Structure 1
Amino acid sequence: MKTFLTTSLAVLLLISGFLTGCSKTQSAAPSKENHMLIYGTEFDADKINPILDTTSVDEMIFRGLMRFDENNKPQKDLALSYDVSNDGLVYDFKLREGVKFHDGKELKAEDVVFTVNSILDDNVASKVRSEFEEIHSIKAVNDYAVQITLKHPFPPILDKLTIGIVPKHMFNGQDINTADFNQQPIGTGPYKLEKWEKGKSITLKAFEDYHKKAANIKTVIFKILSDSTIRALQLETGEIDLAYLEPSQIAKLKKSETINIFEVPTADYRAMMYNMTKDVWQDVSVRKAFNYAIDRKNVVDGILKGNGIEAYSPLQMNSFNYEDVEKYEYDLEKAEQLLDQVGWVKGSDGVREKEGKKLAFTITAPSSDEVRVNLAHYLVSAFKKIGADVKVDALDWSVIKIEETDAFLMGWGSPFDADHHTFSIFHSSQTGKNNYNAYSNAQIDELLFKGRTTVDEEQRKQIYQAFQVALSEDPSYNFIAYIPAVFGVNKKFAGMKERTLGHHGAGFLWNLEEWTIRE
């Protein structure tokens, strides 16, 4: 009996140990519930609808006819194929069949037509309209074929057609500007919206019927954290898994045993915008003088901790960059000469005056952006050396009206076609839109139009070189520095594919559906 009990107990212990071992093995592998990524992001959205504007979640929720690859070149996505007429004016697209929106309805040609026509509709407040203005017409040939006819040849058209397609049936005659869809978006992307708590978080769930392979990470939470210090702290403690880092945070987090640091090249520049509606900026010599007053190398080495390069052009990171332009190298003597020549004379207090007016203005910067605020304070001291009385106004984004500022610490830049973030920013027709400072130059208007409607690559290059020369001679911005995007990512995540990014690291999540979680 004793032997039987001993043997039985041994068997039970063996079974218990086996089951315990199984339990440990199962818990070590991430369950679907644990397949989660939490991204600490600075910005929430007001509306999520690619017809109206772009947001940080667009790439996850929506897909377009085309999609940018790791080289920032547009490749077919919802489009199965396309043909272009010999004159470059007609594009015929064949759509993939069986692609589903998040509500289960199939994507059809009418959805593509609705999306593009809505962007071009005068009654729709679309911030991306300038990107599509060369489209003359778009029509559905059948359920899976779309034809686009252009006003002029338009080489950037495939770039533009990366815009997310929205489902026509979700609007049912609603005003697109105020439609329910803007708060409950539906697309064909790898993730669908599950919950949106304004000011707190946006939760996305993997869309299992995605037309390509379903995402590995099943839940993605965009946690709204406007304070960069809090984002870095929560990344370090593991409360979030991913965050964009400021230069002052990089050195410390590089020492972390749980965080990988990704320093990614960008086309992201910082510049001081001259508001052309203000009297102080009417004289081009004054704008040139302020350009010469900045020691850009000192900015890169100091404020940016060596993470950046000196800027002189909005196309500096583009294949059409033209180096033989005025780079406005640091030259206080030249700056002072220019101001003297146009009648700005130093008073007894060291501040320049002209016709009873002080050379004084305010630089506005978003308070949540460490780099921009630090740049603004640097500019105060730099401009004081040439006799300007400058103040900084660091404000929350919610109260900033860029078009009303004297000068604004701007962030722009695009890794895509040269037309992107040039026409919409510097062409006079875009005043009141992305041309916040009402900049107007007839020569630049002509060059930007030619640049977007010329097919020959070499001719386009020459046009954009001429644009850069003209802009340097009549500066709209005071270009300061290009900044790489630095992200901290928990080491348990893998699968990131780097590509040159846009403003503020836009595009880092471009292949998120391919990311994995290490066991």
Structure 2
Amino acid sequence: MKKLNKVICLSLSAMMLAAAISGCGAKETTDAVQNETTGETAPAGEMSRDNTMIYGAEFMVEKFNPILGSEYCDAMIFRGLMKTDVDCQPQCDIATDYEISDDLLTYTFNIRDDVKFHDGTTLTADDVVFTISSILDENVNSSIRSDFLLVDKVEKLSDTSLSITLKEPFPALLDKLTVGIVPEHCFEGQDINTADFNVNPVGCGPYKLVSLEAGTKCTMTRFDDYYGDKAQIENIIYLYLPDYNTRALQLKNNEIDFTFVEPSQVKELEADENLDVYVIGSADYRCVMYNFQVCDLFEDVRVRQALNYATDGQAVVDAIAHGYGQIAYSPLQKNKFNCEDIVKYDYDPEKAAALLKEAGWADTDGDGILDKDGEKLSFTLTAPVDDEVRVNIGTYLSSEWKKLGVDCTLSALGWDAIDITKCESFLLGWGSPFDADNDTYRLFTTGSADNYGFYSNETVDKALSEARTKTEDADRAACYAEFQKAFAEDPAYDLICYLDALYAGNKRISGPTDKVLGHHGAGIFWNIEDWTISE
């Protein structure tokens, strides 16, 4: 087993998919790929395995447009002004350098003049201005708009320079500018929300799209005009395999080369002499999200607190995660602004029972389920059926909470049948790669984009809003401490555990590093240019 543990901050988003070969659209599967050994060509769907990596993927993205906010279209096809390094710190990428004004409100960027999009056009400041302006456009359905709300204006200074002016200081800006840049000309006369680009993407990253079979796979090949280091692996096939058992079987049978695996599969895969298993530090936490709009039971904080106390996080880590994780108590637990001095819900079923009694819940009819004013303490917990860990956590919680008199029914569904905003409660997974603002403000402030449970707390709103504009770490730490204390006392989630990211790959694959990863191992391909395949 290769243990790549380095847990401090969070990771970049995972890879997914590449961009178009010419124009602003993907080619069909008639593209030919040359076999390095024989010199013969074969259709993309039949390309040689000589220098091709097949990745077995859990998810298939429907739209590949950074403007709209897909977290799975970063490192392969799109690149931003900035990128994050192995320590998750922002560094220049398309930008060559930048200056910040004395009042911390204006950032001036110079950009490279040798960046080509996959259609052969040159990236200029116009494309950067278009990308950020489009994210801010209220007519565009961007899920990351809240990340840029403090941007006042974006202006082109020349083809290779631009300025970004802020409404207030915003130290997280450089992290936000890792967002991929898209070519403005590809959207002429089109609605960004429905543009053909969203399924035929064009970027400037190290790989470009050869073919895309919706819901099945995408095939990409190395972009030889990439401005950075040329990728070592020539071709990558991204194969959609939602079932984890299928992925493991195909890996063992050499049908795929690399994949995300579940904790229960590690021992068996370790025993295969042809495979390497990677255990990588992660900021990926599992929790129960309480939906305040759908289920009025959660309006009483004592009910939520009781459920939190009745959750044995260590049991989940030991029995369900097979030891590959740790108990969770804060959304910022892996961040430099983590605050230890908060309420922690150590497993205490007696305290849980006392809180429910205090809230007026009692089993008045002797059926084993608590009731109050004619209403049963009953709700549904939804989990994605293809996620072994989440389904097992849901099964465990349903059993444990029933001992308290809580009727929690697990509903395991396919993602196509899930609308998180409509679930009474949901087994959520999250994990952020960047600044503490990244997955706090947009998750927990009232009305924010990813606040799927409609949580609202004035203290949380104030603390997270102020934390965005503080320029000194000490001031930001104080704001984030206030947030974490308020969040713990009035929980939006039942935080359960952080999970290690688990991957397995054919021994001919080299390249995974110890960079801390995000949700479901997001970010594993952050250095894909350096990966290699041996004979």
1:320 equivalenced with 2:337 (yes/no): yes
1:284 equivalenced with 2:301 (yes/no): yes
Percent of aligned positions that are identical: 49
- Could you tell me which residue of structure 2 aligns to residue 156 of structure 1? 172
- Could you tell me which residue of structure 1 aligns to residue 247 of structure 2? 231
Structure 1 letter corresponding to 2:434: F
Separation in structure 2 between the aligned mates of residue 491 and residue 436 of structure 1, nearest angstrom: 40
TM-score between the two structures when normalised by the length of structure 1: 0.93
Query: What is the deviation of 1:334?
Result: 0.6
Out of 367, 370, 377, the position equivalent to 2:395 is 377
1:295 equivalenced with 2:323 (yes/no): no
Structure 2 letter corresponding to 1:285: R
Deviations 1:103-148 (CA, angstroms, capped at 9, x unpaired)? 1100000000000000000110001111111101001001000100
SS in 2 for 1:60: coil
Separation in structure 2 between the aligned mates of residue 57 and residue 439 of structure 1, nearest angstrom: 28
Deviations 1:444-472 (CA, angstroms, capped at 9, x unpaired)? 00000111110001111111111111000
Separation in structure 1 between the aligned mates of residue 460 and residue 301 of structure 2, nearest angstrom: 15
Separation in structure 1 between the aligned mates of residue 503 and residue 152 of structure 2, nearest angstrom: 41
> What are the residue-to-residue correspondences of 1:199-214 with 2, within 5 Å?
199-214=215-230
- Could you tell me which residue of structure 1 aligns to residue 78 of structure 2? 62
Separation in structure 2 between the aligned mates of residue 32 and residue 150 of structure 1, nearest angstrom: 50
1:389 equivalenced with 2:430 (yes/no): no
Deviations 1:371-401 (CA, angstroms, capped at 9, x unpaired)? 0011000000111111101101100001101
| Residues matched between the structures, number | 490
- Could you tell me which residue of structure 2 aligns to residue 89 of structure 1? 105
Query: What is the deviation of 1:55?
Result: 4.0
Separation in structure 2 between the aligned mates of residue 119 and residue 253 of structure 1, nearest angstrom: 43
SS in 1 for 2:255: coil
SS in 2 for 1:483: strand
Q: Which runs of 5+ in 1 are unaligned?
A: 1-24
Deviations 1:196-252 (CA, angstroms, capped at 9, x unpaired)? 101110111100000012111011111000101000111111100011010110110
- Could you tell me which residue of structure 1 aligns to residue 491 of structure 2? 475
TM-score between the two structures when normalised by the length of structure 2: 0.90
Q: Which has the higher contact order (CA 8 A, sep 6+)?
A: 2
- Could you tell me which residue of structure 2 aligns to residue 118 of structure 1? 134
Deviations 1:227-285 (CA, angstroms, capped at 9, x unpaired)? 01000111111100011010110110011111111101111000000001121000011
1:346 equivalenced with 2:358 (yes/no): no
Runs of 4+ in 1 over 3 A off after TM superposition: none
Query: What is the deviation of 1:33?
Result: 6.4
- Could you tell me which residue of structure 1 aligns to residue 434 of structure 2? 416
> What are the residue-to-residue correspondences of 1:390-405 with 2, within 5 Å?
390-405=408-423
Out of 441, 452, 461, the position equivalent to 2:477 is 461
Out of 453, 464, 484, the position equivalent to 1:437 is 453
Separation in structure 1 between the aligned mates of residue 511 and residue 56 of structure 2, nearest angstrom: 19
Separation in structure 2 between the aligned mates of residue 260 and residue 56 of structure 1, nearest angstrom: 24
Separation in structure 2 between the aligned mates of residue 471 and residue 62 of structure 1, nearest angstrom: 35
Contact preservation (8 Å) 1:38, 1:223? yes
Contact preservation (8 Å) 2:65, 2:73? no
> What are the residue-to-residue correspondences of 1:24-63 with 2, within 5 Å?
34-63=50-79
SS in 1 for 2:67: coil
Q: Which stretch shifts more, 341-350 or 69-78?
A: 341-350
Greater C-alpha radius of gyration: 1
Structure 1 letter corresponding to 2:325: G
Out of 351, 360, 367, the position equivalent to 1:334 is 351
Separation in structure 1 between the aligned mates of residue 72 and residue 129 of structure 2, nearest angstrom: 24
- Could you tell me which residue of structure 1 aligns to residue 468 of structure 2? 452
Structure 2 letter corresponding to 1:320: F
Separation in structure 2 between the aligned mates of residue 229 and residue 363 of structure 1, nearest angstrom: 24
Out of 496, 501, 505, the position equivalent to 1:489 is 505
SS in 2 for 1:116: helix
Out of 128, 153, 161, the position equivalent to 1:145 is 161
Separation in structure 2 between the aligned mates of residue 120 and residue 203 of structure 1, nearest angstrom: 32
CA RMSD in angstroms comes to 1.3
Contact preservation (8 Å) 2:216, 2:240? yes
